[in-house]
Amino acid sequence: MSVIKVTEQNFEAEVLNSDVPVLVDFWAVWCGPCQMQGPIIDELSEEVSGVKFGKLNVDENMSLAQKYRVASIPTLLVFKDGKIAASAIGLQSKDGLKKLLGV
């Protein structure tokens, strides 16, 4: 499954109202660790089924970053049934992301 671009406009539909868990990567273009996290999420999205993967640019979607109190990036939040079920801050390995997702 491909990684979707999450924005303030599609957040409710793609994340909060999703029938499956959603891993959202809060990132920024200028963030070095975020640039390293992206390909790991891309790879994982091809390997894991039953989970939606999204990336949210904090500079373009500041209100969502503030709402979810994202102070450091990358921040990874797993949403299930519209609520945060798990979270991690900082660069995560593929195995770390699998544990976060419970897969």
**pLDDT over 90 (residue 2):** no
- In the residue annotation, 34 being an active-site residue is answered as yes
- pLDDT tier for residue 90 given thresholds of 50, 70 and 90: very high
For 46, counting Cβ atoms within 10 Å of its Cβ (0-12 exposed, 13-18 middle, 19+ buried), the class is: exposed
19 burial level (CB within 10 Å; 0-12, 13-18, 19+): exposed
Number of domains in the chain: 1
**Domain enclosing residue 93, as ranges:** 4-101
Model-level pTM?
A: 0.95
Residue of 6, 31, 64, 78 with catalytic role: 31
61 catalytic residue (yes or no): no
Residues 6+ apart with CB under 8 A from 95: none
Q: What is the CATH number of the domain that holds 17?
A: 3.40.30.10
Instruction: Return phi, psi of residue 40, to 5°.
Output: -65, -40
State the catalytic residue, choosing from 23, 24, 34, 65: 34
